[in-house]
Amino acid sequence: MKTPALNEMYWLVKREFWEHRGGFLWTPVITGGVFLVLNLMGIITGEVLRVQHGITFGAGGGNINLFKQALASGDMAKVGFGLDIMMLSSSGIISVILGFVLFFYYLGALYDERRDRSLLFWKSLPISDTATVLSKVAAGAVLAPVIAVVCGVVTGILMLLMYTVTLSFHGISMWHLLTLAHPFQITANLIGIIPLYFIWALPAIGWLLLCSAWARSKPFLWAVALPIGTGIVIGWFHLLGSIGMGSEWYWKYVSGRFLLSVFPGGWLGFGHMTDLGNGAHALDILHVEYAYRVLSSPSIWIEAAVGIAMIAGAIWLRRWRDDS
């Protein structure tokens, strides 16, 4: 049963979707479509070159050749791993694009309504600043990732079917290949990490909304130049010996979290990213249980609290900011 507050939040989030349908919906759909077309072109190119010149290279022909080698050696786990990674690759590309979409969405969320004066209309309605800002947080950190996951899974399944159909022309059973993949497990993992993404992205969401509410012009410069400039100054003072601490902690826990946390998967870290090349453990680090281990670190909760404080600051600024 919907309460008035939930009903209001539902319509505010829906309004955000209507106003940003291009970024939230069509961008992942188009990205997935382009990804499929490029892979299809790679498969066709690989097949044509293999038939005409006996050459095998590229994404399409190379992957098919690897599958054939793995099947010939009877390494079914390797084949299943390859099919799973193929499904995940489409979600990975869409996630990167989603990060850029959300970066600029939050950066303009409160600035654009002041610039085009639509703020005056929305303030004339009986809608609180808190509900308005929180609806923008929910639209970007929950609704947009859900849409991206759906698009990524659909694209991944189409990729899976495309490769298995191609391999079936090489005498390999399509249905046998499909039983080696784990599409339901991958889908569950991708949906399961959305709450973790929400917590992880809070510092960046808070910082971008704060800059969007505070800057009178050019919020991008303020949002990017200020944390990067501060890091350069800290590094310079460290180089001169004025301060004992280096700037590594600042780039990792402050600048990096404020600017890059909107990109999904950042909690894996660069060290874990290298495990993606290791077939034995690559899917383990993408498992929900493994991903949520990051919540055992106090730093993520401190950074999330800072993000919530900055969102509160953005709500306060929206209430009192007057550029007229």
Mean pLDDT of 61-81: 66
Q: d(Cα 80, Cα 272) in Å, to the nearest integer?
A: 21
Model confidence at 56: pLDDT above 70: no
What is the total residue count of the chain?
324
Lowest mean pLDDT among 5-14, 59-68, 258-267, 295-304: 59-68
Q: d(Cα 252, Cα 290) in Å, to the nearest integer?
A: 21
First to last CA, the chain: 41
- List CB contacts of 243: < 8 A, sequence separation 6 or more: 234, 237
Higher model confidence: residue 323 or residue 45? 45
Neighbours of 119 (CB within 10 A): 20
Provide the pLDDT for residue 54.
64
pLDDT digits (tens, 9 = 90+) for 298-316: 999 999 999 999 999 999 9
pLDDT digits (tens, 9 = 90+) for 239-271: 777 776 777 888 888 888 999 999 988 887 655
Q: What is the pTM of this model?
A: 0.85
Provide the pLDDT for residue 274.
57
Nearest to 274 by CA among 259, 261, 288, 285: 285
pLDDT digits (tens, 9 = 90+) for 203-232: 999 999 999 999 888 899 999 999 999 989
Mean pLDDT of 100-108: 95
**What average pLDDT is seen over the chain?**
84
Which residue in the block uniquely carries the two structure tokens 């055992």? 296
Lowest mean pLDDT among 130-144, 162-176, 192-206: 162-176
Provide the pLDDT for residue 212.
94
pLDDT band at 59 (very low <50, low <70, confident <90, very high): very low
Lowest mean pLDDT among 58-62, 115-119, 286-290: 58-62
Q: d(Cα 324, Cα 79) in Å, to the nearest integer?
A: 62
- List CB contacts of 293: < 8 A, sequence separation 6 or more: none
Which residue in the block uniquely carries the two structure tokens 């402050």? 254
- Residue 253, exposed/middle/buried by CB under 10 A (0-12, 13-18, 19+)? middle
Model confidence at 294: pLDDT above 70: yes
173: left (phi over 0), alpha (psi -120 to 50) or beta: beta
Q: Are 103 and 201 in contact (CB under 8 A)?
A: no
Q: d(Cα 99, Cα 265) in Å, to the nearest integer?
A: 10
pLDDT digits (tens, 9 = 90+) for 170-188: 777 767 777 777 888 888 8
Higher model confidence: residue 286 or residue 300? 300
Which residue in the block uniquely carries the two structure tokens 């899917």? 283
Which parts of 58-97 are beta strand (E)? Answer: none
Model confidence at 276: pLDDT above 80: no
